[in-house]
Amino acid sequence: MNYTTKLSVNINKIATLRNSRGGDNPDVVKAAIDIQLFGADGITVHPRPDERHIRYEDVRQIKKVIKTEFNIEGNCTEQKFVDLVLETKPHQVTLVPDALNQVTSDHGWNTIEHKDYLQKMIAVFKNAGIRVSIFVDPDLDMVVGAAQTGTDRIELYTERYAKQYPENKAEAVKAYVSAALKAKELGLGLNAGHDLDLHNLKYFKQNILFLDEVSIGHALICDALHYGMENTVQMYKRQLL
Count of other CB atoms within 10 angstroms of residue 45: 28
> In whole angstroms, what is the distance from residue 209 CA to residue 102 CA?
32
194 given a catalytic annotation: yes
Residue among 53, 155, 194, 213 flagged as catalytic: 194
CA dihedral 60, 64, 65, 67 (to 10 degrees): 110
Catalytic, out of 46, 53, 69, 213: 46
Residue 218: active-site member: no
155 is known as an active-site residue: no
CA distances from 158 to 164, 172, 223 (A): 10, 10, 19
DSSP string, the chain: --PPPEEEEE-HHHHHHHHHH-TTSS-HHHHHHHHHHTT-SEEEE---TT-SSS-HHHHHHHHHH--SEEEEEE-TTSHHHHHHHHHH--SEEEE--PPTT-SS------TTTTHHHHHHHHHHHHHTT-EEEEEE-S-HHHHHHHHTTT-SEEEEE-HHHHHHTTT-HHHHHHHHHHHHHHHHHTT-EEEEESS--TTTHHHHHHH-TT--EEEE-HHHHHHHHHH-HHHHHHHHHHHT-
Q: Which of 53, 69, 73, 213 is catalytic?
A: 73
Q: Which residues are catalytic?
A: 46, 73, 194
